[in-house]
Amino acid sequence: MEGFLQNYGFLLVTLLQQSLLAFSLYFPLMAGQLSLASPGFYALGGYIAAIMSTAPECTPLREKLGTGIYPLEWLAAGLISGVLALVIGISALRLRGIYLALATIAFVEILRVICLNLEITGGAIGIFDIPQLFAERWSYGLIFGPLLLLTLLFVYRLENSRTGRALKAIREDELAAGAMGIHTTYYKVLAFVIGAVLAGIVGAMSAPFLNTWNARQGTFDASISYLAYVLIGGSRSMWGPLLGAVLLASLPELLRPLKDARLIINGMVLVVASIYLPQGIVGALGRLKRCVVKNTSPMGGER
Amino acid sequence: MYTGEYLQNILNGISIGSVYAIFALGYTLVFSILGIINFAHGAVFTLGAYLTYSLAVGHFGIGGLLADMQVPFRLSFPLSLLLGSLLSGVFGVLIERCAFRPLRLRGADPLLALVSSLGVALVTINVIQYLVGSEIYSFPSEVYGDIRPAFTFQRGDTTIVLRTVQLIIFAVNMTVLVLLRYLISCTRVGKALRAVAENSSTASLLGINVDRFILYTFFLSGFLGGMAGGLVGTSFGIAGPYFGVSYGLKGLAVIVLGGLGSIPGAVLGGMVIGLAEAFVPSDYSAYKEAVAFAYLFTMLLICPRGLLGRATIEKV
């Protein structure tokens, strides 16, 4: 067990972390809004945590709180990401479809260039030697794991609530939802902010886990990875992002023996999966299940 | 700011702006026909740059699998740019066949086209990296033959440097724009393309082979993307296989600024962003990369349909 955790601890925690990031994109998608802003908030959260852990200005705070600084970092990252998402969301969410996606790509890029040039974010080098919360890599699962469970529980409760039904209605037809008296802007912004808060917290938790934090954490490539997790896992079910993230994020590790051809295969998987699994893996499993049930039911043969 | 500096900025801005314009036209053509964005366009840009380089310089590069392999012939720069762009166009057709057509036939969610086109981009870029390595290449000046590398104009104490590459870029781009304009407005192919862009099912009912015109569009788009890559490569060098990605994102800013799907809009947007970047003061040059996205973001908030875009009527 000890050896297993030594070898695969990093991978396991990465899978948990990537699943959480997939959910941060899933929330806006529940309301049919394609937002690619998650890596931006993730990077922002990480910078907040990294600065609070390393900046000399924060030394008195660190000495006073001890390890209590970490929950405070998570709180600060979530809060700041949430407020920023509120500001961006209110102005950007009147855009639809591809326009919203483009606006969020622009947000991620602008944030990246700013972080690359500010002194407080360490410029191009970034912030390193971020103090560790745990001695072992796998121990970070003790914070990512519960957060993932909480998120799953939250999504499960949300989907069967009034808010969840409102989000679903907006996804199916925004105009009709508005006509039914659903305040579409409110719910769209709400979903966007929830996703941003989650991404911010995950960023703040990841900064000590990864030990260094730089502008490469929040890039366009990351946006697309998260989108691929959700779409290939299945965007209509809460199990989709989880399954997609676990499968796709472990792919580079599984393909490690292939070395240079790794990313080539990764790209091919994206193409093939989007062609043959249009409803995602969860959707395909659902279809398969329906097929099997139909064939074994007594009525099946006669009709 | 001195007049000389001012003129110099305008020159630089127009030169790079015209590259942005033809690159963004590749996006806009596909968007106007299919209503989706081809995220593999940045990879086509990279491909065009490498193809032009290999054909003009005569070898594939210093690193990667093809290191030290010689191309059996050397073409003059204009020919290699043309051939490189044509091959990129063929690659555009290949992208359509692999990443877009299967999805279209299945009537899949348009979001999936984003993922599949990015998958193609990932494959392309990494295959290129595998083959030629990730070193930085710059075109040796002898590929242009006997032309002087730069012209310097001096008057009093103001100096303006006009690099020959800038002139070539501008001339090539203007030619391409005029030809494209002719193709779209004055030929039967152009008429059919416009019909497909307007409404593909009606066009198909009127006897236009929509599928074939989608292929033409992807060929044109790949051609323009590859040519932009070749031109940027000659002007600034090739900064590794990933350098197309950042141009790919900038191209998005250009088409949104001009108006998604609008051809004159893409040209105007390219010029605006090229000039805006050229006028970033040197103290803030690190923020130059963000200028295009700041424009994109602001434009979307103020007027999402862009400078020259058509207002779409919302159908219920």
**Domains of chain A by residue range:** 8-218
The stretch A238-258 carries a mean pLDDT of 87
What pLDDT band is residue A224 in, cutting at 50, 70 and 90? confident
B102 CB neighbour count, 10 Å cutoff? 17
Indicate the residue of B123, B293, B301 with minimum beta-carbon distance to A109.
B293
Mean pLDDT of B233-251: 87
Which residues of chain A lie closer than 8 angstroms to B109, CB-CB?
231, 278
Any idea which of A242-246, B12-16, B37-41, B239-243 has the lowest mean pLDDT?
B239-243
Phi, psi of B59 (to 5 degrees): -140, 165
Q: pLDDT at residue B222 above 90?
A: yes
Nearest to B301 among A91, A261, A269 (CB): A91
A136-150, B12-26, B133-147, B297-311: range with lowest mean pLDDT: B133-147
Question: How is residue B315 annotated by DSSP?
Answer: P
Instruction: Kindly indicate the confidence band of residue B215, based on its pLDDT and cuts at 50, 70 and 90.
Output: very high
A160-171 pLDDT, tens per residue? 899 999 999 999
HEC string of B241-269 equals: CCHHHHHHHHHHHHHHHHCCCCHHHHHHH
Contact between chains at A271 and B316 (C-beta distance less than 8 A): no
Question: Contact A274/B119, CB-based, under 8 Å?
Answer: yes
Contact B103 A232 (CB under 8 A): no
Query: How far is it, in rounded angstroms, from Cα A172 to Cα A32?
Result: 7
B127 touches chain A (CB under 8 A): yes
Q: How confident is the model at residue B30 (pLDDT cuts 50, 70, 90)?
A: very high
pLDDT at A301: 46
CA–chain centroid gap for A296, Å, is 39
* pLDDT of A22 strictly over 50: yes
Q: Write the residue in A99, A113, A269 that is nearest to B289 by C-beta.
A: A113
Mark yes or no for CB contact B249/A109 under 8 Å. Answer: yes
Q: What is the pLDDT of residue B112?
A: 84
Highest mean pLDDT among A48-52, A125-129, A282-286, B106-110: A48-52
Of A110, A117, A274, the CB nearest to B293: A110
Contact A18, A177 (CB under 8 A): no
Token digits for A35? 């937002």
Whether residues A95 and B245 touch (CB distance < 8 A) is answered with no
Mean pLDDT computed over every residue of chain B:
86
Taking CB atoms and an 8 Å limit, are B116 and A261 in contact across chains? no
Percent of chain B surpassing pLDDT 70: 96
Q: What are the tokens at B199? A: 């409404």
Q: Give the residue from chain A lying closest to B124, CA to CA.
A: A264
Model confidence at B162: pLDDT above 90: no
* Torsion of Cα atoms, A245 then A247 then A251 then A253, to 10°: 80
- The CA-based angle B144-B145-B146, given to 5 degrees, is 120
d(CA A202, CA A213): 13
In the block, residue with structure tokens 């209590």? A68
In three-state secondary structure terms, B155 is strand
Q: Is the pLDDT of residue A300 over 50?
A: no
Tell me the one-letter amino acid at A266.
N
B151 φ, ψ (degrees, to nearest 5): -110, 135
The verdict on a CB contact (< 8 Å) between B130 and A260 is yes
Q: Which residue has the higher pLDDT, B90 or B197?
A: B90
Distance separating alpha carbons of residues B54 and B64, to the nearest angstrom:
14
In angstroms, the separation between the Cα of residue A4 and the nearest Cα of chain B is 32
**Contact residues on chain A for B46, CB-CB shorter than 8 A:** none
Shortest CA distance from A89: residue in chain B: B301
Reported confidence tier of residue A298, pLDDT bands at 50, 70, 90: low
Of B113, B126, B296, the CB nearest to A264: B126
As a whole number, the mean pLDDT across chain A is: 87
Check whether A57 has a pLDDT greater than 90. no
Show the DSSP H helices in A56-161 as ranges. Answer: 59-65, 69-92, 97-117, 141-159
Give me the total of CB pairs closer than 8 Å, taking one residue from chain A and one from chain B: 121
pLDDT of residue A302: 42
User: What whole-number distance in Å separates Cα of residue A148 and Cα of residue A100?
Assistant: 27
Q: Is the pLDDT of residue A297 over 60?
A: no
For residue range A78-93, list pLDDT tens digits in order. Answer: 999 999 999 998 888 8
Q: For chain B, give me the number of helices (H) and strands (E)?
A: 12, 2
DSSP state, residue B310: P
User: Residue B158 in 3-state DSSP?
Assistant: strand
Which residues in chain B have their CB less than 8 angstroms from residue A117's CB? Answer: 286-287
Residue A296's pLDDT is: 60
Search chain B and give the residue with CA nearest A260.
Answer: B130
So what's the pLDDT on residue B21?
93
Amino acid of residue A178: G
Closest CA to A103 of A83, A86, A89: A89
Overall average pLDDT of the A265-288 stretch? 86
CB–CB contact A102 B108 (8 Å): no
Band of pLDDT at residue B303, cut at 50, 70 and 90: confident
Model confidence at A303, pLDDT cuts 50, 70, 90, reads very low
Interchain CB contact of B285 with A (< 8 Å): no
Cα separation, B95 vs B282, whole angstroms = 39
Q: What is the DSSP letter of B304?
A: T
pLDDT of A194 above 90: yes
CB contact under 8 A, A261 and B115: no
Q: Is B109 on the interface with A (CB under 8 A)?
A: yes
Q: What is the pLDDT of residue B146?
A: 67
Q: pLDDT at position A9, please?
A: 85
Q: Work out the percent of chain A whose per-residue pLDDT is above 90.
A: 43
Q: Is B285 a residue whose pLDDT tops 50?
A: yes
Determine which of A9-18, A292-301, B106-115 has the lowest per-residue pLDDT on average.
A292-301
* Res A195: pLDDT: 96
pLDDT band of A299, cuts 50, 70, 90: low
Cα separation, B145 vs A285, whole angstroms: 62
pLDDT in the model for residue B159: 78
The model carries a pTM of 0.87
Tens digit of each residue's pLDDT (9 = 90 or more) over B47-61: 999 999 888 887 776
Look up residue B307 and give its DSSP letter.
S
**Which residues from B are below 8 Å from A175, CB to CB?**
316
Spatial contact of B270 and B21, defined as CB atoms under 8 Å apart: yes
